[in-house]
Amino acid sequence: MTTEDLRDLLANLALDEDELDLDEPDIEPGDLDQHMSDPTSVVEAEESTDDAYVASDPRYNGPGVKRDSPHRTRTKTYRQFHDRLGSLTTCVLSILRYMRELKLDLPLLLWAISYEIPELIDDDLAKFERTALLSSEELPALLRTWYKPPRGHSRGVRSKGASAALEDFALQRVLANVQCEMAAVGTYMRTKPSDLSSEALLSIKITEMQQDVQERAPTLWTLLRHCSWTTRQEKENNSKNPEATVLFMISMASFTRSNRNNALQRLMAVYLKSCGTSAKAFDALSALGFTMSQSWTLRAIERLSVSERESLHQDLHVFPWFGSHDNVNFKFRVFEQRSDHHSHFDSGTAGTIFVVKDPAAVAPSAEALRAHRLESLGSNKTVITPVNVLHLEAAAAPRLAARALDTILQVLLLTPGFDLSTYEHRDHSLLQPAPRPGRLHIGAESLVQQYVLDTVHMEEASYDGNSKVLKEWLRQLGLDTPEMQKHLASEVVLPWVGDQLTASRLRGLTKFRCDDYNSFERLDWLIPNFGWFHLMFAFEQSLHSQYYGTRTGLGLVHAIDILGRHGLQTTSTQGTFHHTFEEALDHILEAHIRALWCSVGGVDSLESLRAYTPEKLLALATRIHDEHVSTLALTTLETTSTGLPQKALDPLHKQTIQFIRDLLDYRTLRDAIKLGDIQTMEDMLPRLLFRFSGGRHPNYVVEVAELLQNLHREWPEDLKYYDMTVVNLEPY
């Protein structure tokens, strides 16, 4: 085929669009001849999307409806023409022979048209053909084919193709992209030494950081995620994801490039140090780029301590506050022993100050407290009596019964088998949790600021130890000057919280110093209080000692064995006993109540109760409470209608009623503490006094009795409310 024949063939490609069955092509039939015969008529922007061309087309349908570029349209038209005539092979071979006549091969042609020859860069025909190639739909397929050519079946050997060149090019491009992305990540992770503060550390959110790093390093993130997550995990694993792992990979790489890129490393260093990580572990983690070094961490904690102490001193003069302390035990490990240098345990005391920044919180008045105490001394109601406690319990009983009834109803509604989300009457008012009028206000504005004092090497188990500890706290708080001592003695009422031993020792100090010369020395400004968390420990120990039983008789041990819970034979305030025992009590309580729902409701499964109306469910819950899990149920079981004791009484039935009743009290108190329901907490005090009195817990008998005495005899209203303040560290 001669050159003239080739030109005629290309000119004949202007076919009727109906013949090619095209859907409104963007090029008129004569456009192809014009492109071949008059190259100067083609003026096209380099590597553009041809929006201007499309907008000028009379068949353009407006914004949002884009057409193929003229380059792609022409390629489609050419391809359809050759597919119809079967002439593509002939044309290609003719062009290759013609190129050989011109001493031109394909590599040289592509090199020349690809921005290498200045004369061809701005040539209209060269621009059009170059753009047609670079924007063509065939280019991705071409690259894949060049990288991995099809196997020649006659030889059985795959051609090498351009795999080496493409791999090298791809690697270089990925490295260049990663280099730019790591620079962006470094800027994001970079910190200044002056930026170190508790607010800056607490403002770091891992989920937000994951999103920010992914936006700044999409290529690197995709590569590392692909390395960390298989296709099967992507489809089947719903319990975890590699996002945090990828974040730490990138963070460690950025930290390796510059130790100033340490936003995440600083956070982890302070966290691990607070967990007691050893110096050797710090050195290893720092070498891996996971944390800062041990020396940096010690300096950082010292700076944070100084900064927090300054903030504390400022807050003490602005907001109400109270304190707490407890003993701590340290294990000092020695790797090179000497006669005076051995591994050992030692005791100390850790203190915490809580600053109440709630605008509604008002510091109690020392003058009001003194006046109220004087008024109480002049009346005949100085000491609360057992009769008073019984009256308090009787007044609180209806409210506690309502709380127990709500628990019984919620156990059913939260059961997966009942499926509240699809229950017809799920929004009925009777099914909503009962309101808590005594609940404290919570929210971001009521958060309590927590400051940790310097741990001191002083024991607090004795009276003398607590006296020294109090002096040390006042020194650290800057309240040990004569002026501040006078201020404490005359204007401040300071609640101080601890476990039962701490509260008892502080209360004993106030008694021993009752004849001292001034109010400061007498500790009139100090109000010792027990912590409710420690009281829950005592509640659990009381339930354990009363109901654990033996394997040969009745008791809680049978349910614990069925549940497969271990380590509950003896009570402990250390380790995981509290969590494990609390969880076991929850499961046992819910199992009993679910069984009662089926029994009282006359159904075989909880799913059948979905057919009942809210009114019917509430009536069943009331029956469960009154007949099976309350003191009224015990009384009914133990007496006949004439009031005479029954001769035959099922001991297992009786113990079950009593046990579930006490578990409901435990659950009620725990939920009240978690939700800040101070009314319910106060309502539970008489029952707690009865339990500890009958359960051989004399220490907490004293604590609960002291609190009842203070609430109902000695404290004014402002101190009552302030003392019951819940330490709210989260804005919910």
Domains of the chain by residue range:
3-136, 164-311, 332-361+443-527
The residue type at 432 = Q
Residue whose structure tokens are 């100033």: 260
Short-list 207, 69, 185, CA closest to 133? 69
The torsion angles phi and psi of 132, rounded to 5 degrees, stand at -60, -40
Short-list 554, 550, 587, CA closest to 569? 550
Write out pLDDT tens, residues 239-270.
778 899 999 999 999 999 999 999 999 999 99
Are residues 60 and 54 in contact, defined by beta-carbon separation less than 8 angstroms? yes
DSSP-based three-state secondary structure for 121: helix
Q: What pLDDT is stored for residue 215 in this prediction?
A: 94
Strand partners, 221: none
Distance CA 383, CA 705 (A): 10
Q: What pLDDT is stored for residue 190 in this prediction?
A: 93
Distance CA 427, CA 420 (A): 9
Are residues 24 and 65 in contact, defined by beta-carbon separation less than 8 angstroms? no
Residue whose structure tokens are 């305030």: 573
Where does residue 563 rank: exposed (0-12), middle (13-18), buried (19+ CB within 10 A)?
A: middle
Give 180's Cβ-side CA count (13 Å radius): 9
Q: What pLDDT is stored for residue 93 in this prediction?
A: 92
Query: What is the four-CA torsion angle of 11, 13, 18, 20, rounded to 10 degrees?
Result: 180
Q: What Rg, from alpha-carbon coordinates, does the chain have?
A: 41
Short-list 655, 664, 656, 713, CA closest to 684? 664
Short-list 693, 691, 619, 625, CA closest to 660? 625
Short-list 401, 398, 426, CA closest to 412? 426
Q: What predicted TM-score, i.e. pTM, was given to this entire model?
A: 0.72
**How do beta strands 321-332 and 344-356 pair?**
antiparallel
Mean pLDDT per block of 10 residues along the chain (732 residues) reads: 50 40 36 39 38 42 54 87 88 91 90 88 88 88 86 64 86 93 94 85 89 94 91 81 92 93 92 87 90 91 89 91 90 77 84 88 86 75 88 95 95 91 89 85 78 91 93 94 92 92 94 91 92 92 91 84 86 85 93 94 92 93 94 83 57 89 96 90 95 91 94 87 66 50
Short-list 689, 713, 334, CA closest to 539? 689
Longest dimension (CA), the chain: 129
Q: How far apart are the first and last CA of the chain?
A: 84
Distance CA 144, CA 147 (A): 5
